[in-house]
Structure 1
Amino acid sequence: MPATICEALERAAAMRPETEALVGNGERISFKRLYEKSFGVARALAAAGIERGDHVAICAGNSVEWAILFHGIVRVGAVCVPVNTRLTPDEIRMQLERADARLLITVESLLRIDFVAVLREVCPTVDTVLPSPELPRLTDVVVIGEEAPAACRTFADFLAAGERTELPPRPASDDVALIQFTSGSTSFPKAVLLTHANMTTDAYFLGKRMGVREGDRYLSARPFFHVAGSTLAVVLSAVHAVTLVTMYRFTGEEALKLIREEHCTLTSGNDTMYLMMLGSPDFQPLSYTLRGGWAAISPAIMRRTVEEFGAAQTVTGYGLSEASPNIMASDHGDPVEDRIGGWMRPHPGLDVRICDPATGAEVARGQKGEIRVRGWCVMKGYYRDEAATRETMTADGFLKTGDMGVMREDGRVAFVGRLKEIIRVGGENVAPADVEDVLIGHPKIRQAQVFALPDPRLIEVPGAYVVPREGETVTADEVLAWAKPRLAGFKLPKYLAVIDSFDIVGLTASSKVPKRLLITHAMRHFGLGEKETTS
């Protein structure tokens, strides 16, 4: 197992130099060329004065160039700060400021977005002088394109300046490699510090659970600016020396096309991503080269993945940014019903406990509680936020995940739901995922989202939106009548509506439905808040 990301890429280039490291958006690059080109970036960074521990930001989509930049940044000993390309200019500026980024490398454009125009909003002085008053630490900006604002450089000029520069010593395994901003869906985003060892160890063990082997071609459209993309796609590819296939923007049709054309054997995704593939008019059951992969999906969708996709060795994974991200996963050799049921084993060397979130005491096997973890996957802390770090970590070194789980007698754990998303119905706790799994079991339902809505008597009650399968028609009353004998009374949604899609609120960059926005929409829809207006 490589100790650093640099060692992983160097070993992959030595072992399988001509194997494709990454394929995406019409581009291909071998491990040998990726290694060589990343050295060019590392030399240019060194020539620009970037030293070990400095923070360098990337604003780019999933691509060959992103991987080259990332490997170059970590080789020089700097810390990569991936910028979410879907953020507003104000949000991007906030991330660059909070991360103390010294240098930014940005694409000229991506998916019809003019990022030079975005750059001018983020940093208004790029046409005159750097740094700007808004970002006093940002002294250098590089634009991947033919032209750049007056105070910036083109990527070609940036590389040329470093051609004769010597590389510094390689970073150590405990050096920070990544600042990963949390999603911020329920709170202000925090800057997670992950080391080389955090990322390579996590990538190694998840690859083992997936059964990665020589010749595999692994489709992952998880955004590289999220840790599921950086650790569990880019780094995993290097650690196991297998081909990563990706795309700028996930669609079910494009994913199916890539799986077939690139002969992909592994993939990854969440509920929405798998449903977009399974529900696509292009989907042809049991006709793909997929053997398995990893998925953060419900049992109902996992069963469809195994039985309809034919990806019989798919494993369930669980984690969060603060844990590199993967804490545990099932194994490709586990009994299929355990994998479908979401029963996972913690990775070797990790101590996972299920605790009462109020007292911190470990609960009995079979009882639900907060998942807590201690060991090599846990972040170094939040950058510039010691108070939040202390709040998230216990005195004896456990990370409080904020997620609910249950542990069986054999030590396997199942994810139950987000602690903050638990619906408190009177004196009962309802995990949205439990209700969603039942609703998705309806033969006419493709997708479901369950969430808490206010109630004057019970404080909270379940609300739900469901999306029918292609060509199917179903009513809310029909769904509720079907679900009633399958759910305890307090779990049955009090409010349910059938919708065409979750485009009513849009998807996050990682193809998740943003429940906070969905609840706001539902409050209006069901007359519990400000009434909807129609035009």
Structure 2
Amino acid sequence: MAGLAAPPGGIDPRSGFCAATRTYHSVRTAGTFPPESLPVTVAAYAFSLLSSPLPDRPALIDAATGIAVSYPSFLAAVRSLAGGLWSSLGLRPGHVALVVAPSRLDIPVLHFALMSIGAVVSPANPASTADEYAHQVGLSRPVVAFAAPEVAAKLPAHLRTVVLGSDEYSRLSSAGAQAAAPPPVAVKQSDTAAVLYSSGTTGRVKAVAITHRNLIALICAHAENHEKVTAEATEAGEEPPPPAVTLLPLPLFHVFGFMMVLRSVSMGETAVLMERFDFGAALRAIERYRVTLLPAAPPLLVAMIKSEEARRRDLSSLLVIGVGGAPLGRQVAERFAAVFPDVQIVQGYGLTESSGSVASTVGPEESLAYGSVGKLASHLQAKIVDPATGEALRPGQRGELWIRGPVVMKGYVGDDKATAETVDSEGWLKTGDLCYFNEDGFLYIVDRLKELIKYKGYQVPPAELERILQSHPGIADAAVIPYPDEDAGQVPMAFIVRQPGSNLTAQQVMDYVGKHVAPYKKVRRVAFVTAIPKSAAGKILRRELVQQAVSMGASKL
């Protein structure tokens, strides 16, 4: 192989592969991090990168109302709220605060204020059920919750809850302006900054501890990518890209949205927040606010390709669409490029457990590698490991992707067993994804070794839905699989074995699950079968069911 011409122990400059260790190394330029021994929060680090005077563009804009928050106002609001959280609420470093709200302007202020005093922000989905919140609270053990009025009643009664927008919250927000600023807190970079919720590799939701160092590393990687794009434009005699105006149709409790706000603020850019995703509203926001960057899951590209309105609107400001949350097929990428030839597709890949981005395409040339999620981010190493033998593999060979570096999570809160199963003693994070690198160092996601269903970028664990289904008295056995769907990517489909004598209908099955889970986890297709195929060890043979579902066709379901 041409890519393996490096001397023994050397690193191939094209692929980043070291033949001696069977390890891939990032070929990106590695910027410098602050020394690990320096006590600093990610909030302080992000603010330290801002220019002086502060950027003269909005930090945040509400897509629906057009209300904008300037950088001076944003920093002042963060400092004032931080003072209130410290002096009035008594929050201290290490205290966990649950945040349950849609993407409103006060949420980034709250996130930064919490992290700036060393408190741990733990954002949760406002569409979750009371049962799901009880499980999350049991894991992360918050001392307080900040909740939108419409969701506060679903939180556990014992948990102190401050309702966003209430008089109590307003007093906290302004308290810091009157009170003395919180004393400087000695927060280590290795301390937890955020607890995000992920399904991990299997089963119920897990609480992922992300450190200040993890998030600082992400910010540095984004800054390095921006410098690369700027340098390439300058070399080509072109204008460097303007400061991004990013539309965020992504929820801020998801690692993708959480990370994009951090990135936007640290780089002095503008984030346009959408409370909930609406396709028409997103198109109008791109036109109204001259959006240049749109992070999205693949179904949004499919919708734009099909949309007459997308062709009618003035979307000429849009320079980049950043795809993440699920793999983007080559065919969709090529169709999108044909309809929107001036929009660069940047593909990326990451996990909650990696604090976000692991790999991405950077610049116009890399973005043409359709089907790939790009090259390893700076400071990262990777292995492709044969799941059967544990052998580390060469370029072009498929196996489980393992990664190591400063973005790897601290661990799952309250679950040492799951942490040990996911991150080994040498710091390798086992992603559960079947992948390969080509000889140019581009990473390709082939399939999911772990069994999560990707519904519009959300992770839906089949085991959780199966547990609910199996609790129904009319169900003898059940299995849940991903069913391909052009708009959503995948939808949860249930195969049901009825109890003898049961006349359970598909609608009753879907309604039953819907009562117990957030809307994105709902079962959307049902097939009744006489038995669930299983291995000798009792493991559901999902691949057989997926093939059966596709061959049955929609008309027979």
Structure 1 pair 66–329 and aligned structure 2 pair: CA distance change class (3 A): same
Given the alignment of the two structures, is residue 517 of structure 1 paired with residue 513 of structure 2, yes or no? Answer: no
Q: Is the 8 A contact 1:206 1:326 kept in 2?
A: no
1:56 is aligned, of 82, 88, 97, to 97
**2:420 and 2:216 mapped to 1: Cα distance?**
25
Given the alignment of the two structures, is residue 352 of structure 1 paired with residue 388 of structure 2, yes or no? Answer: no
Instruction: Give the unaligned 5+ runs of structure 1.
Output: 109-113, 124-131, 133-137, 148-153, 423-431, 434-450, 452-459, 470-501
Residue 185 of structure 1 and its aligned partner are, at CA, apart by 9.0
Residue 523 of structure 1 and its aligned partner are, at CA, apart by 2.7
1:182 maps to amino acid: S
Q: Is the 8 A contact 1:222 1:510 kept in 2?
A: no
Given the alignment of the two structures, is residue 196 of structure 1 paired with residue 202 of structure 2, yes or no? Answer: no
Residue 197 of structure 1 and its aligned partner are, at CA, apart by 2.2
**1:5 and 1:334 mapped to 2: Cα distance?**
33
**2:319 and 2:486 mapped to 1: Cα distance?**
28
Q: Secondary structure at the match of 1:241?
A: coil
Q: Secondary structure at the match of 1:198?
A: helix
Q: Secondary structure at the match of 2:221?
A: helix
1:165 maps to amino acid: A
Given the alignment of the two structures, is residue 29 of structure 1 paired with residue 69 of structure 2, yes or no? Answer: yes
* Range 160-169 or range 45-54, more displaced: 160-169
The aligned residue for residue 355 of structure 2 is 324
Equivalences for residues 113-512 of structure 1 within 5 A: 114-119=150-155, 122-123=156-157, 132=158, 138=159, 140-146=160-166, 154-162=168-176, 163-170=178-185, 171-183=187-199, 186-206=202-222, 208-209=224-225, 211=229, 213-231=241-259, 233-284=260-311, 287-296=315-324, 297-338=328-369, 340-421=370-451, 465=484
The aligned residue for residue 104 of structure 1 is 145
Structure 1 pair 141–413 and aligned structure 2 pair: CA distance change class (3 A): same
**1:380 and 1:271 mapped to 2: Cα distance?**
29
Q: Is the 8 A contact 1:354 1:363 kept in 2?
A: yes
**1:258 and 1:400 mapped to 2: Cα distance?**
38
Q: Across the two proteins, how many residue pairs are aligned to each other?
A: 429
The aligned residue for residue 489 of structure 1 is none
**1:463 and 1:104 mapped to 2: Cα distance?**
34
Q: Secondary structure at the match of 1:401?
A: strand
Equivalences for residues 6-85 of structure 1 within 5 A: 6-12=44-50, 14-24=52-62, 25-26=64-65, 27-47=67-87, 48-85=89-126
Q: Is the 8 A contact 2:347 2:367 kept in 1?
A: no
Residue 99 of structure 1 and its aligned partner are, at CA, apart by 0.7
**1:82 and 1:60 mapped to 2: Cα distance?**
8
* Range 244-253 or range 275-284, more displaced: 275-284
Structure 1 pair 5–333 and aligned structure 2 pair: CA distance change class (3 A): farther
**1:52 and 1:371 mapped to 2: Cα distance?**
34
Q: 1:353-395 CA deviation, whole Å, 9 max, x = no partner?
A: 1111233211232111111100111011111111111110123
Q: 1:229-254 CA deviation, whole Å, 9 max, x = no partner?
A: 111x1101112111111201112211
**2:107 and 2:487 mapped to 1: Cα distance?**
37
Structure 1 pair 204–274 and aligned structure 2 pair: CA distance change class (3 A): farther
Structure 1 pair 510–38 and aligned structure 2 pair: CA distance change class (3 A): farther
Paired-residue identity, % = 27
**1:305 and 1:332 mapped to 2: Cα distance?**
17
**1:282 and 1:374 mapped to 2: Cα distance?**
44
**1:378 and 1:160 mapped to 2: Cα distance?**
36
Q: Is the 8 A contact 1:366 1:409 kept in 2?
A: yes
**1:304 and 1:527 mapped to 2: Cα distance?**
41
Residue 183 of structure 1 and its aligned partner are, at CA, apart by 4.0
Instruction: Give the unaligned 5+ runs of structure 2.
Output: 1-31, 35-41, 231-240, 455-461, 463-478, 489-509, 533-553
**2:334 and 2:54 mapped to 1: Cα distance?**
35
Q: TM-score, normalised by structure 1?
A: 0.72
1:222 maps to amino acid: L
Residue 398 of structure 1 and its aligned partner are, at CA, apart by 0.5
Residue 189 of structure 1 and its aligned partner are, at CA, apart by 1.0
Q: Is the 8 A contact 2:435 2:445 kept in 1?
A: yes
Residue 311 of structure 1 and its aligned partner are, at CA, apart by 4.7
2:296 maps to amino acid: G
2:268 maps to amino acid: A
Structure 1 pair 184–11 and aligned structure 2 pair: CA distance change class (3 A): closer
Structure 1 pair 263–79 and aligned structure 2 pair: CA distance change class (3 A): same
**1:391 and 1:465 mapped to 2: Cα distance?**
29
Structure 1 pair 416–275 and aligned structure 2 pair: CA distance change class (3 A): same
Q: 1:328-357 CA deviation, whole Å, 9 max, x = no partner?
A: 11112324531x231511011100111112
Given the alignment of the two structures, is residue 90 of structure 1 paired with residue 131 of structure 2, yes or no? Answer: yes
1:298 maps to amino acid: G
Q: Secondary structure at the match of 2:94?
A: coil
Instruction: Please give the root-mean-square deviation of Cα atoms over the aligned residues, in Å.
Output: 3.5
1:322 maps to amino acid: E
Structure 1 pair 207–305 and aligned structure 2 pair: CA distance change class (3 A): farther
Structure 1 pair 277–381 and aligned structure 2 pair: CA distance change class (3 A): same
2:341 maps to amino acid: G
**1:468 and 1:81 mapped to 2: Cα distance?**
30
**2:373 and 2:83 mapped to 1: Cα distance?**
46
